[in-house]
Homo-oligomer: A and B are copies of this chain.
Amino acid sequence: MTQQHLPALAVSTVIFALRPDASGSIKLALPLVRRIRAPYEGRWALPGGPLGLNEGLSDAAARTLQSTTGLKPRYLEQLFAFGELNRSPLLQESERVVSIVYWALVGNEEAQQAIESENVAWYFADEVPQLAFDHNLIVEYALWRLRNKVSYSSVAHGFLGEQFTMAQLREVYESILGKELDPGNFRRTVEASGTVVATGERLSGAKHRPPQLYRSNADINLSDNGPLSRPQGEIS
């Protein structure tokens, strides 16, 4: 059996960060890589590449993140393995690729240090161009997973520093969900969820009634990111 008769295996990563737009409001964004060879030469695509023989799947995803942005993930989770036959009409049958896709969060402070280069660019999630392969479908699914997951986990804390105000947390949710949230309702929902703990400290610098600072509740995991991160025997 020769190599070209087996599907090849690649790992790609959808990397989410919050970045300011021209008006200064923070928006959900992701880095894309310009393809420098056929098929889809010149098109933007998700960062990724072949899985190394001595590399775990999540290690490959973290390596991709590192080489594309210079950053480490705050949160990393397997999204889905995309391997249907029709996922790239431009590939020969003998070049079939199965992509195991991860999604990741990068903290807001780190995101400001992201390296940029000629063939790497950040796009806002609502302005993603026509991508190579089935990567638009993949981005759409990753967005759905992120938006779904922030509603029942504290994964959104991954964008923030160790301490944050309720307004900062609400801004993160508003950026992810793409809509404004009522401050009072938001505060009540978050406080009732037990996912944050008041630190007793207040934001310095503010003159009148500086807002309270909160931290993520360490008793609650940021979010369940799959079977391999759990202690064996504690799954069920």
Which residues of A pack against B, CB within 8 Å? 1-3, 5-9, 50-51, 53-58, 78, 80-85, 93-94, 96, 98, 100, 137-138, 140-141, 143-144, 147, 226-228, 232, 235-236
Contacts and interface: CB of A to CB of B under 8 A. Distances in A.
B6 A98 contact: no
A137 B227 contact: yes
Contact of A1 (B3, B83, B98, B227): B3
- A contact face: mostly helix, strand, loop, or mixed: mixed
6 contacts: A1-B3, A6-B53, A7-B9, A9-B98, A57-B83, A140-B236
Contact of A147 (B54, B82, B236): B236
Contacts of A1: 3
Contact of A144 (B138, B147, B235): B235
A56 B58 CA distance: 23
B93 A53 contact: yes
A83 B100 contact: yes
B84 A54 contact: no
Contacts of A56: 83-85
A227 to B, nearest CB: 4
List of 8 A-B pairs having minimum Cβ-Cβ separation, nearest first: A141-B227, A57-B83, A56-B84, A140-B235, A81-B81, A81-B100, A144-B235, A144-B236
